[in-house]
Each structure stands twice: as C-alpha cells, then as structure tokens.
Structure 1
Amino acid sequence: MDKVPLILLPGSLCDERLWEKVNVSKHAEVKVCDVSKADTIEGMAKSVLEKAPDKFALAGLSLGGIISLEMMRLAPDRVMKLALLDTNPNPPSLEQIAGWERFIDMENNGQFLDITIKHLLPVLIHPDRRNDETLASTIIDMAKKIGSEGYINQLKAVMTRSDQRPILQTISCPTMVLVGNEDKVCPVHMSEFLTKNIPSARLEVVNQSGHLITLEQPVKVSNLLRDWLKS
C-alpha cells in the first residue's frame, strides 16, 4: 500500500516531540513542520505550503490547527485529508489578547519559562496528569527549544489572526475533529462547532485528556489517525 504524505503541525511552544508518540508510520510518510519562524498565521501557512508535496494529508493541533485552516483557505485542492486537534476557529478575544500581552511582558522581563511552568502547565493537561514529571518535563523542554523569539512570533500570529469560521463550509476533503474531553484551552464545544460546520466532518472526543492529546493519550490518537488515513 502506498503511504500518504502527512504533514503534522504542532501547537504553540511545541516541536516534533508533540507528535513523537503518534504511530502512523505504516500508513504515512510523516513530516513535522516548525511553526515558530513567521509572525502571522498566513505567513506560517505559506511557509508550510512552500515545503509541502503537491498533495498531502494534514493534521494540526491548536495553533497547528489554526494554521491548517489557513492552508485550507490558501490551497484547498492540495489537502487530501484534514485532521483538526484541539482547535479554535474563532478570532481572538480581548481577554486572550490581554493575556498574551502579559506573556510578552514576562518574556521581556526574563520570565520566559515561568509562562509555561506557572501559567500554561496547569491548564494544558488533564488534572490526573499534573503530577506526571515526565510529561511536564517534555512540555518544558519543548518550550525551551522554541525559545522566546519563536514564542513571540507565535503570540503575534494568534493575536492578529482572522475569524476562520467562514472557511469551514468550504472544506470538502474528509475531515476528522479530535478534542480532549477536559481541554480547558479549546473546550469541546469548539470542536463540536467545527464538526457541525465542516461538511462530512466527524468528531472524536478523547477521554482522560486535556489539550495535548497526542502526549496524553497517544495510543487512542494513533488509532484514530490511522483509521482516518485509511478511510
């Protein structure tokens, strides 16, 4: 069986380790892209498209999902299958923008790692995993690799992103929407909205998981993505 080219897009402050426990290698030729170099969603989407094959399957988590939706706007005919994990299609709220501006202030004051350790970790993962030192260490190490400059790019991108809800009805490729049942960053109702508004999309809620479902429930996510690739 020919393998499908599969592009995986991480979320903010995440690198290829977000996807390393997802096992789809039997069905796909996998490429994880860096999404920390541009400072707009459009710029990030274009940078991925420039390096992508003519046709490919696409999966993105959180920021990666937002970039995926932008790619569907820019080049819908190139995407064979789409998977949106823990994704928010809405424009940023004033409350979100204020919070991200505080994070930029913290970075400028030398408190970059405090953002992940004190502010993000408590809401990123399922409550049962908050004492999981291995998981926490992976998340912190990913943030270190992305670094302050990369994260400021990502913050600028999400702060200026457009309303992506009008894109949803235009998506015609097979689409799967996944979300952790305890996701506090992109709650289940956002994925329900995506599923309702993307023609033929199906929703999968992953139990015992927060926002980072590929790290928290990699076996369940792997099985779902393999089924999606084979469909």
Structure 2
Amino acid sequence: MPGGTDSKSGRIGAITTGTREAGRLPVLFLHGVGSDKSVWMPQLAHFGGDRMAIAADYPGYGDSDFVEGATRADYARAMLGLLDRLEVDRVVVCGLSLGGIIALEMALFAPERIAGLVIANSFARHPEGEAIYDRSVAGARDMGMAALAKARAPMLLGKDPPEGLAEEVIEVMSAIPPEAYVLGAEAVWRADLTQHLHRIACPALVLCGSEDAVTPPQLSDELAAALPSARREDIAGAGHLSNAERAEAFNLSVDAFLSDLDEKP
C-alpha cells in the first residue's frame, strides 16, 4: 500500500507492504545515492509477507519533495518523521551505501527507536570520498544525469548481474534531479562517522558484495570491527547493488538476522 508523510524535511514518499504481526519487527529500507525506493522491490516482496516492510525516498528523490541544502542529518530526521507518521515505534533499518550512512545517523539520533541495523555496501568514511564527490558533482552538472547514469552503471554491478538490471539502474538514476543527486553525493561521500560508531550499541549486520568496486569489502570489514555489536557477511558474486544483484542471498542473510531480533513468544 503506498504511503507518504509530511515532515520537517518535506513530503516523504514511501511504499509499505505487509502487516504488523506480533513479535515481528518492521523493516525500513534506505536506498543509495544513485537510486530510489524502487531498488528495494525484491525485499518488499519477500519481507512484506510476514512483517511491515517500508521503502522510502530521501528529500528530492522519487516521490519526495526537494529541500534546498538538505544534509544527511536532514535525511535521517525525515526518515524518523516518516516512522512517526506511520506510527512505528521501533524498527530495523536496512540501508545500502548512502542508506547505510543514514541508518547509522538514525541510530545516533534516536537509539531507542532502532532495534537493529543492516548496513550493506557502505562505510563510516570512504578514503577516496572527496574525489568521488568531486567527480559526482562534475558529472551531474556537466554530463547530465542520463549520461552519468550510463557511465556509472557498469561500475555499480558485479561481473554477472541479472538480465535487465543495468538498464533499470540507468533508468532510475537518469530520473534523479541533478540538484538532489548533488546533495545525496555530499551526504554519502563526505561522511565521516568514525568517531561516533562506539555509541551505536544495537545489533548490526554488515553486508558487502564480494565484487563491489565502489565500496570494497575492506571498508565493510573496518565498519563491522568498529561497531560494538556487529557481524559481517559477504554476498558472493554481487557488486555494489548486492540487494538487487543477488536478492535471494541478501534476503536469506537479513532473514537470519531478523529472526534473532524478533521478540520470541
């Protein structure tokens, strides 16, 4: 069922599926800088069968209102505002790339509301973040989003992506307004949460595609080592979009993590 919310950061478009079954925690899915909530359709279909599953757009992305100068803190507050509107008290947040950064920010802002984190293909700080940010901004402004998407898509995927996925990635990325993409790029590539990770006490699952060239597995190793209560797994044969490239393996890993968190009768 489609949904949305008005928050301090504008109207946030969201898709929710499933019901709130007793003992089963809701899951909020957060996308990367070159994507939108549609990237989580394989997860909404899978997890929405027995729990509430939510995928949302950041300000300026998809169905959400653009907010001039929005920061990653604004993104995190907007997602917490969405949970308020949906009357969700506690949630597991599953974020990929930029979504992982926002998930960590949410855990820092409102630890009492975060039952667990799934951080996929992300990091606390990217060693080449500033250079990637500069290239992202130049590409969006000089090439336009369609040309940038065509150039970027092959870098995001592993050696053997599912048929049609590259075309989907290009289509979704091409539709992102350049001004929103630039803000998203700053939110992810200029992030540095290394000094705050010790404060995140909730259980975490850190995933990475084994073939990820954008945020290599070593960055996930470092993130998992710095979080107080994290376990680390690779998604074999996946690149940067591990949830879409190897959806079944991704879902199985998250399923096992959620089963440990769900309230037992």
Contact 2:33 2:188 in 1 (8 A): no
Contact 1:10 1:64 in 2 (8 A): yes
Structure with the bigger RCO (C-alpha within 8 Å, sep 6+) is: 1
* Mean CA deviation greater in 68-77 or 107-116: 107-116
CA displacement at 1:114 relative to structure 2: 1.5
Report the 3-state secondary structure (helix = DSSP H, G, I; strand = E; otherwise coil) of the residue aligned with 1:83: strand
Q: Which residue number in structure 2 is paired with residue 8 of structure 1?
A: 29
Contact 1:4 1:27 in 2 (8 A): no
Q: Does 1:47 align with 2:78?
A: yes
With normalisation by structure 1, the TM-score equals 0.89
* Distance across 2 between alignment mates of 1:87 and 1:98: 17
Q: Mark the runs of 5 or more structure 2 residues left unpaired by the alignment.
A: 1-20, 61-66, 261-265
Q: Which residue number in structure 2 is paired with residue 126 of structure 1?
A: 158
Report the 3-state secondary structure (helix = DSSP H, G, I; strand = E; otherwise coil) of the residue aligned with 1:137: helix
* Distance across 1 between alignment mates of 2:212 and 2:107: 24
Q: 2:109 aligns with which of 74, 79, 82?
A: 74
The sequence identity of aligned pairs, in percent, is 28
CA displacement at 1:133 relative to structure 2: 5.2
In structure 2, relative to structure 1, the CA distance for the partners of 1:88 and 1:66 (3 Å cut) is: same
Contact 1:11 1:63 in 2 (8 A): yes
* Mean CA deviation greater in 180-189 or 151-160: 151-160
Report the 3-state secondary structure (helix = DSSP H, G, I; strand = E; otherwise coil) of the residue aligned with 2:255: helix
Q: Which residue number in structure 1 is paired with residue 238 of structure 2?
A: 209
Q: Does 1:170 align with 2:203?
A: no
For 2:42, the aligned partner's letter is K
Deviation readout 1:158-217 (Å, 9 max, x if unpaired): 3543x2112222222121111100111111111111221212311111101111001100
With normalisation by structure 2, the TM-score equals 0.78
Q: Mark the runs of 5 or more structure 1 residues left unpaired by the alignment.
A: none
CA displacement at 1:109 relative to structure 2: 3.4
CA displacement at 1:149 relative to structure 2: 2.6
In structure 2, relative to structure 1, the CA distance for the partners of 1:164 and 1:96 (3 Å cut) is: closer
Alignment of 1:11-160 (within 5 A): 11-22=32-43, 23-37=46-60, 38=67, 39-52=70-83, 53-90=88-125, 93=127, 95-109=128-142, 111-118=144-151, 120-129=152-161, 134-160=164-190
Contact 1:27 1:229 in 2 (8 A): no
Q: RMSD over aligned Cα, in angstroms?
A: 1.9
Q: Which has the higher helix share?
A: 1
Runs of 4+ in 1 over 6 A off after TM superposition: none
* Distance across 1 between alignment mates of 2:184 and 2:51: 28
* Distance across 2 between alignment mates of 1:45 and 1:134: 31
Contact 1:89 1:164 in 2 (8 A): yes
Contact 1:27 1:226 in 2 (8 A): no
